[in-house]
Chain A
Amino acid sequence: MKLIAAMSGGVDSAVAAARAVEAGHEVIGVHLALSSNPQKYRSGARGCCTIEDSHDARRAADVIGIPFYIWDMAEEFHENVVENFLSEYAGGRTPNPCLRCNEKIKFAAVLDRARGLGYDGVVTGHYAQMFETELGRTMHRAVDPAKDQSYVLAVLNTEQLAGAHFPLGDTVKDEVRIEAKRRGLYVANKPDSHDICFVPSGDNAGWLRERLGSDVGPILDQDGNKLGEHKGAYTYTVGQRRGLGISVPTAGGEARYVLKIEPKSNTVVVGNHESLAVIKIVGDRPIWCGPAPVSGSKYPGLAQIRAHGSPLACTYSHDGIEISVELDEPLYGLATGQGLVIYDGNRVVGSATVSHTE
């Protein structure tokens, strides 16, 4: 096959590209320039948006012996990922920009361009596995549970997954680093990236405050009584307990948690732990990573609501517009806007964006 290897400058995508070459594919490396004003050097453990990262990617491509190009996706990234991130927060939701980037950039803009140029698909260093099963080509969790990234890839539909190649899904991270060293890739010891790549400081709350404002507003209890003031509603997350700065103690002395963020009234609502309990989750924009389950039927499965969250036993169903999940045990702290991913064992069934909870 003819494949485009998306190379961030990190160790994973470098080894993934090398493996694709070794598997006999015709591979070219592409680094995505996602920032129109890239910083010169990495600060901290980031990896994808600096000139240093693009040099690292080029160096890796040279060592592997594949052509290398830089694709300017800054505009697409800004429109589809950064602006969406801001508007979701402005709407009181908690988005995951990595999901969005995979859905709109890496496996849409890049994959479409690759196909237009006559290439068959995109190789990335994501940790997930693709198998040919009786259900067709399906996506499964990586063997390394600590690195599994199937959650952030669950926004890819079958057509996108048909062009997606994840050569690292069967390997644990430590072995990938050893392999990188063996292959002479200088990025072997480069730290993993954790933060949101377009928030250079890693201070998400500060970054949001700068862009969405930090108007002071009331912190209310569930009955509407004012308990204190917040410093910008956007910087709070549902389930958050620390940093509320409320001096009025509860009657029972129990801790308070953020239950809800209401951007229109600039209000943060808090309550006790029990009030965070969620037993039913509804998500819209369903995307199926394999065959769609029969509409109206109920299935046993697992739901995951964070990139590294635990899978929760549940029963799920859908009506074509929404996915409904009933959890076996209550979950504490879930914000709208988060990605809801459904698994059948280790197989990714599909995903939706959390729209409301009960």
Chain B
Amino acid sequence: MTIYLDHAATAPINGAAIEALNAQMRKVGNASSLHNPGRSIRKDVEDARHALSELVGAAPSEIIFTGSGTEANNLAIKGFFWQSPERNVIVTSAFEHHAILDPIEWLVEHESAEQILIPITRAGLIDLDFLKAVVASRAAEIAVISIMHSNNELGAIQPIAEVVNIAREIPVHTDAVQSFGKVEFNFDSLGVTAATISAHKVGGPLGVAALILKRGLDLTPILHGGGQEREIRSGTLNAPAIVAFTAAAQDAIANREENFRKVRHLRDYFISRLQVILPDVRINSISDPALPGILNATFPGTESDALLLLLDTEGISASAGSACSAGVPRPSHVLMALGLSESDADASLRLSIGTTNTEKEIDQVLAILPSVVERARNAFVVSELI
């Protein structure tokens, strides 16, 4: 039995994407070559770019394909920072993904950048008053404000339109990796300067993502070479992945509302049953406005690595926090930003539901959970006695 409840980490690739990937991989040609096969690949890439741009509410030229969401986020953070040497402040939230926090930390260490972290309210939202105060006092120094569109562990959708209003002339980047294809996301109407989306979170292949960047803007590149993407990103265009990305995105957007209802129903069903079976469980994830499938809960008296191990041996895939380079689990910085203690954060799990999950699967997980939690508590009690 395998029950996959880690869709926020990566989602299963969908059929349309596999077909597009397969078909494109049989074609030879570098999209930058001038000969006939090259032109043919270029047409496929530009068709895909065009279709994708319509799905995200951007112009085709605003799509810069990258090799990953991490790369797109690095490009946004470092690119905006280096683009305006007179501004050295980067504003972000305390619960961003490491692909935002770590490049900023690197700039702080190596390039004398200053980081300002916007705190998180108990409702799982960035503190807009804090942001207002920061902008009011430091506007001329801020190179970029980067706030995620929705949080990957809590699901909470952030008030990005208000961030844009507060920011006025300051560039705003949003990491929309979790939102795109799942909830309403439109680059143009949101008014942000740049946004990151990634294929493998919406049923596309691994190894392709995009930074959407307003026309006419330049960013200092982090990869130098052929200058394929607006002279901002170099590297041979990964045509099969790009074409498959668009195919997956088309499928996700076409079925978005139906998928949303289905996944959200599963999540709400899961939470309501969970609270009956294990009354002391505390739900950390936000129900609305939020991603439909994120369930984050604290299981008091446990450690998440024990829970994950036991669930895994029962065939259930979940996740918790992150691991350091040695693979040692660390309490989630997102939950700590939300105000949880280190021990509560360490006793929490994220279950991310996707369109392929069923109510029957949720029932199976609910049937196993009490014994898993009990065993994790036993292990925790003994480890505390040592």
Contact = CB atoms under 8 A, between A and B. Distances in A.
Contacts of A38: 326
A69 B310 CA distance: 11
A33 B327 contact: yes
Given A112-B382, A116-B382, A116-B383, A54 B326 contact: yes
Interface in A4-59: 28, 31, 33, 38, 40, 51, 54, 58
A117 B328 contact: no
Given A108-B386, A109-B386, A112-B386, A117 B327 contact: no
A33 B326 CA distance: 8
B329 A70 contact: yes
B309 A33 contact: no
A118 B375 CA distance: 6
A58 B327 contact: yes
Contacts of B305: 69, 71-72
Contacts of B381: 116
B312 interface: yes
Contacts of B327: 31, 33, 54, 58, 70
B165 to A, nearest CB: 44
Interface in B257-314: 305-306, 308-310, 312-313
B241 interface: no
Nearest to B323: A70
Contacts of B306: 113, 116-117
B99 interface: no
Q: Name the prevailing secondary structure of the B interface residues.
A: helix
B378 interface: yes
A113 to B, nearest CB: 5
Residue of A51, A54, A108, A112 with most partner-chain B CB within 10 A = A112
B382 A67 contact: no
A115 interface: yes
Contact of A67 (B313, B376, B385): B313
Residue of A54, A70, A117 with most partner-chain B CB within 10 A = A117
Given A69-B305, A109-B383, A116-B380, 19 more contacts: A28-B309, A33-B326, A38-B326, A54-B327, A58-B327, A67-B313, A69-B308, A70-B323, A72-B305, A112-B386, A113-B306, A113-B382, A115-B382, A116-B378, A116-B379, A116-B381, A117-B306, A118-B375, A118-B378
Interface of A: 28, 31, 33, 38, 40, 51, 54, 58, 67, 69-72, 74, 76, 80, 104, 108-109, 112-118
Q: Please give me the 6 A-B residue pairs with the lowest Cβ-Cβ distance, nearest first.
A: A116-B379, A116-B378, A70-B327, A112-B382, A72-B328, A117-B379
29 contacts: A31-B327, A51-B326, A54-B327, A58-B327, A67-B309, A67-B312, A69-B305, A69-B308, A69-B309, A70-B326, A70-B328, A70-B329, A71-B305, A72-B305, A109-B383, A112-B379, A112-B382, A113-B306, A113-B379, A113-B383, A114-B379, A115-B378, A116-B382, A117-B310, A117-B376, A117-B378, A118-B310, A118-B375, A118-B378
